[in-house]
A and B are shown apart, each in its own frame.
Chain A
Amino acid sequence: DTGVSQDPRHKITKRGQNVTFRCDPISEHNRLYWYRQTLGQGPEFLTYFQNEAQLEKSRLLSDRFSAERPKGSFSTLEIQRTEQGDSAMYLCASSPGTGGYTFGSGTRLTVV
């Protein structure tokens, strides 16, 4: 059990560019979650997968955001045409379906 891994740890991008983040969950966890955390706030739910199925999406997840978990293992979160308001920490977590989540260390996105 190596925990939840997120890559990259930091990403600086210019406004208008596309970015993609990757999350590798704990291998036996079938649930995977994405959260967004802005400075001084608690994390806010974006979306979650059970295996490869995306079961829930927040209204925070605009059309510019898309998440996939093609084989029920790792997941990617893509943001198209980034805006300064997208600057945040993007947290991934996984869960075996019972109990609390295990969070990754996050990807900090800065849009300049």
Chain B
Amino acid sequence: AQSVTQPDIHITVSEGASLELRCNYSYGATPYLFWYVQSPGQGLQLLLKYFSGDTLVQGIKGFEAEFKRSQSSFNLRKPSVHWSDAAEYFCAVGASNAGNMLTFGGGTRLMVKP
């Protein structure tokens, strides 16, 4: 069975600072990996996804993520955080890129200090 761990429940960064959110997954085959962002009371917005190919994936809002098979990780990064980035971030692993069930991590809440 697949699983996702997001080790950091809360992270606080200063506006303009760099950001890295950690994600570790467990899956027997090649994983399909996703990062979503959720603002309070809202649904989830897809930031980026990895299916195959280049292990550095660019997403929306200036985010990127790097797939490292040897570490079973898919960490999300942003070079300079904006106050509007404050939200909950979820990493997810899917069984296939045909869109079967996603397994989500518990999320990381990002707070941004002015």
Binding site for B on A (CB under 8 A): 4, 6, 31, 33, 40-45, 48, 56, 58, 91, 93, 95-106, 108
Whether B103 lies near A45 (C-beta < 8 A) is yes
Given known contacts A45-B101, A56-B101, A99 and B49 CB-to-CB distance under 8 angstroms: yes
Question: With A97-B98, A98-B97, A99-B97 known to touch, is A41 a contact of B46 (CB < 8 Å)?
Answer: no
A40 to B104, CA, bound (A): 12
**How far, in Å, is B59 (CB) from chain A's closest CB?**
10
- Interface members, chain B 77-106 (any A CB < 8 Å): 90, 92, 97-106
Number of interface residues, chain B, beta carbon within 8 A: 23
Closest to B32 in A: A100
Known: A43-B90, A108-B41. A101 touches B46 (CB 8 A): yes
**Assembled-state Cα–Cα distance A54/B103 (Å):** 19
Contacts of B45 in A (CB 8 A): 103
Give the distance to chain B from A53, nearest Cβ to Cβ, in Å.
Answer: 14
Given A42-B107, A43-B90, is A56 in contact with B100 using a C-beta cutoff of 8 Å?
yes
| B34 interface residue (CB < 8 Å to A) | yes
Indicate whether B44 reaches chain A with its CB closer than 8 angstroms. yes
Smallest Cβ-Cβ distance to A48: which chain B residue: B101
> Which residues of A lie under 8 Å from residue B114 when comparing CB positions?
none
Asked if residues A42 and B104 are in contact (CB atoms below 8 Å), the reply is yes
B46 touches A100 (CB 8 A): yes
Tell whether A43 pairs with B104 under 8 Å between CB atoms, given A103-B44, A106-B43. yes
Cβ-neighbour of A43 out of B42, B44, B49 (below 8 A): B44
The interface residues of chain B lying within 8 Å CB-to-CB of A45 are 101-103
Contacts of B104 in A (CB 8 A): 42-44
Most chain-A Cβ atoms within 10 A of its Cβ — which of B4, B42, B102? B102
Give the contacting residue for A98; candidates B42, B90, B92, B98; CB below 8 A: B98
Chain A proximity of B33: nearest CB distance (Å) = 10
